[in-house]
Structure 1
Amino acid sequence: MNKPQPTNEVLNFLKENELFLGLTQQQLETLSSELTEIHVNKGDIIIHENELNDDLYIIKEGEVEITKFNNETNLFHRLNIETKGAVLGEMTLIDNFPRSATVRATQPTTLLVLSIQKLRTLETKKNCFVKWLNYFKKNDMQPIYAIMVQNISKNLAKRLRSTNATAVVALKNELLKAKAHNAMSDLIINTLILLSVYIFSLQLFLFLRSEIVSTTFITIPLMIFLVTPLIYMVRNSGYPLSVYGLTFNNWRRSVYEAIIFTTPVLLLILLCKALLIRYTPSFAGQNLISFSFDLTPVAANAHVSYWVGGLLVFLYLIFVPVQEFLTRGVLQSSFQILLTGRHRTIWAIVLSNLLFSAMHSHVSFAFEFVVMIPGLFWGWMYARHGTLIGVTLSHLIIGAWVLFVVGLL
């Protein structure tokens, strides 16, 4: 610990600091003569929270962190990082309360220390001389202490205005988060209620499956039953439709990627069919390409007339966009907004696909699993661009390839 000489370097350093604006050259020289220079190592505590200390610190070189101790968690929480030129403990100019935070060096740091008590004593000793000098010079030379208090008051006013503006922004953000949480919570609750109704009705669906040609005639009305109330909830959620993927933003890029990423999937499906034909007895003798209008494994060998097949294709073209809107647009988007954390997008994709796969229980367990795999792929595509256009196109192509061209199901 040593007293730095009032060199030009020290004087210029003080002149550049807002706390000392308005001081004359003589006052700066007087002030610098009262400064003490200290050096601290990384991890050293400069100011302890709740201690009584009337020293004011100016960072000459280095960096410190300001932390606050939480009694409930017994942890220190970082409030801010201060570097060269920052003033620490300036509130001692105004009050004598204990320190409100702890200051710790994050690297080797050099500080200039000013004792406020010494400054007040210095001002008292020179007070009579200053009054006498001002009388003859006809000039009001304010004391150093008064100028510093005035400067800190200005800085506090700036901070208060900045804090108010920041508080308003923070409150708006909290309000938006609360709004998002409430809207998405309502949406997911209603979705779960609808899924529960489906599960309770599962026995009825299983009975109907044995009486009709294709389970598509069950699935599509089921989708309509689920989507209709969800559309109403989406419209009244207070969020734009773009949040739910109903937007043309990035549609060109999403379509381009849908074609690029879907092509190798089609080849992979064809390879799976070839392997099944070669190694699985139930597929032995089948053609690699077998056009079919059937949409389910239940009616794989049933005769389907052309008009029924055409109707199934038409319903499929309607069914896929509805399916994507429900799974990706409503469920995945809602989970992405509601969930927090680093992996919220991944969890949103997984959860939305688990719920959607469960809605195919009336077909078969194997079909539930098969639906899950491409669902993860489409969920990833949707998360990249936030529009349903590309992912719906990919779903249409892959679904038509599996059901109508390869005849894998």
Structure 2
Amino acid sequence: MTKRHFFIREGDADKALYLIEQGRVEIVKKNPDTGELYTIMQLGAGECIGETSVLEGDVRRTASVRTVEKTVLIKIQMDRMTGRTEFDSIYIKLLSNMARALSGKLSTANHVTISAMQRELETSKARIGMGLFTVNLLFMLGIYTLALQSLNAMVIAFGSNLISLAILALMASVIFVMIRKSGYPLQTFGLTLERWRKVVWDAFLMTIPLLAGIALLKAFVLYTHPEIDDQVFGIVSLFEGGSVNVTFYLYGLAYALFCPVQEFISRSGIQSALQNFLPASRSRVWIAIVLSNLMFSAAHSHVNLTFALLTLFPGLYWGGCTGVSIPFWELPSRI
């Protein structure tokens, strides 16, 4: 028989037994609601098909069978052997072989069923995880939006650095609690020391083109608009009136400490969660990268719109480096 040829159809009253002499076939089941066919298992040379109809009598075919490659079948009409003594020994051997075949198929069917149930369970858990993640994220963004006017006033009174650090600390705390309560291992969200030396080296190499790009952009802006040098790019003096500018060092230290926190929020807390919980698709990674960085940029609106937009592009760069090079979907899921 040629490839993709149906020789048994679900619901038929045919009682023949088929032995596969050469080739391969697959047993398929139709979804009664959609009509879509699902493959249950594949069988190869030396295996038999149609035992249920033979052993149970008037039962119609419970599934369809089709070839998946060029196949040679032996068709045996079992009802023609019934009551004929010359076929008794062959009939008994066939029944014995059918019993063994059914036992093997039952074991395979159990394995397939368990695997399908596990996949469905993981899918359900992922949906629950996505729901909880979305609720918590919307809750944080809602509170932030409602408090935006007050945050703008606090920025004027205390400066943007202090307010930004407080917001980052609060967001990081909430996201860490979300990760712990998700039931997934921390490595699912990229929180692992596995291969840390290679990761640090890769991060160093990836930083070089980003810094080079920023330096070139700065040089271009200064070249075309030299009058804004002291206004935009001026560096705070290390000394004020002969004494050390302690505030400068404190903010520098806080910024250095909170850089990993920012990446934790954007990369582990939002991007990796989206990559794990969104339905599987080719665009899932890029959707997660863009959405996570849009959310993170929006969380800087209390500073000003320009600064919020400027945080978007480095975020997309780092998101692309981590999301494309590291296949999060291959990380272990919940046990």
**TM superposition score normalised by structure 1:** 0.69
Structure 2 letter corresponding to 1:85: G
Give the equivalent residue in structure 2 for 1:68. 29
Distance change >3 Å, CA 113–CA 386, structure 1 → 2: closer
Assess if the C-alpha contact under 8 Å between 2:14 and 2:61 holds in 1.
yes
1:267 to 198, 212, 222: 212
1:139-174 superposed Cα distances (whole Å, 9 cap, x missing partner): xxx722223222222232233234334444544454
CA drift at 1:284: 4.1
Assess if the C-alpha contact under 8 Å between 1:188 and 1:334 holds in 2.
no
Distance 2:45 2:105 in 1: 19
1:277 aligns with 2:225: no
Assess if the C-alpha contact under 8 Å between 1:58 and 1:86 holds in 2.
yes
Give the equivalent residue in structure 2 for 1:181. 127
Distance 1:158 1:43 in 2: 24
Secondary structure of 1:85's partner? coil
Distance change >3 Å, CA 167–CA 107, structure 1 → 2: closer
Structure 1 letter corresponding to 2:36: L
Correspondences of 1:76-225 after superposition (within 5 Å): 76-96=37-57, 97-121=59-83, 124-126=84-86, 143-212=89-158, 214-225=159-170
Distance change >3 Å, CA 169–CA 71, structure 1 → 2: closer
Distance change >3 Å, CA 163–CA 341, structure 1 → 2: same
Give the equivalent residue in structure 1 for 2:15. 54
Distance change >3 Å, CA 285–CA 233, structure 1 → 2: closer
1:92-123 superposed Cα distances (whole Å, 9 cap, x missing partner): 330232112222334443322111122225xx
Distance change >3 Å, CA 126–CA 84, structure 1 → 2: closer
Distance 2:327 2:253 in 1: 26
Secondary structure of 2:7's partner? strand
Bigger mean CA deviation after superposition, 317-326 or 56-65: 56-65
Structure 2 letter corresponding to 1:60: E
Distance 1:67 1:293 in 2: 72
CA drift at 1:202: 0.7
Residues matched between the structures, number: 318
Distance change >3 Å, CA 44–CA 190, structure 1 → 2: closer
1:251-285 superposed Cα distances (whole Å, 9 cap, x missing partner): 11111111112112211111111221233x3x447
CA drift at 1:349: 1.8
CA drift at 1:319: 1.8
Bigger mean CA deviation after superposition, 68-77 or 320-329: 68-77
Assess if the C-alpha contact under 8 Å between 2:26 and 2:41 holds in 1.
yes
Aligned-residue identity in percent: 30
Distance 1:41 1:165 in 2: 30
Bigger mean CA deviation after superposition, 159-168 or 265-274: 159-168
Structure 1 vs Structure 2 CA RMSD:
2.8
Assess if the C-alpha contact under 8 Å between 1:45 and 1:105 holds in 2.
yes
Distance change >3 Å, CA 174–CA 219, structure 1 → 2: same
**TM superposition score normalised by structure 2:** 0.83
Distance 2:37 2:90 in 1: 36
Secondary structure of 2:62's partner? coil
Structure 2 letter corresponding to 1:191: L
Secondary structure of 2:52's partner? helix
1:348 aligns with 2:299: no
Give the equivalent residue in structure 2 for 1:391. none
1:292 aligns with 2:235: yes
1:335 to 274, 295, 312: 274
Secondary structure of 1:210's partner? helix
Distance 1:228 1:75 in 2: 46
Assess if the C-alpha contact under 8 Å between 1:254 and 1:385 holds in 2.
no
Secondary structure of 2:82's partner? helix
CA drift at 1:374: 1.2
Assess if the C-alpha contact under 8 Å between 2:130 and 2:278 holds in 1.
no
Distance 2:304 2:39 in 1: 54
1:240 aligns with 2:185: yes
CA drift at 1:177: 4.1
Assess if the C-alpha contact under 8 Å between 1:55 and 1:115 holds in 2.
yes
Runs of 4+ in 1 over 6 A off after TM superposition: none
Distance change >3 Å, CA 177–CA 51, structure 1 → 2: closer
Distance change >3 Å, CA 313–CA 386, structure 1 → 2: farther
Gaps of 5+ in 1: 1-39, 128-141, 295-304, 388-409
Distance change >3 Å, CA 230–CA 44, structure 1 → 2: closer
Secondary structure of 1:226's partner? helix
1:213-246 superposed Cα distances (whole Å, 9 cap, x missing partner): x411111111122222333333333333333332
CA drift at 1:290: 5.8
Distance 2:252 2:221 in 1: 26
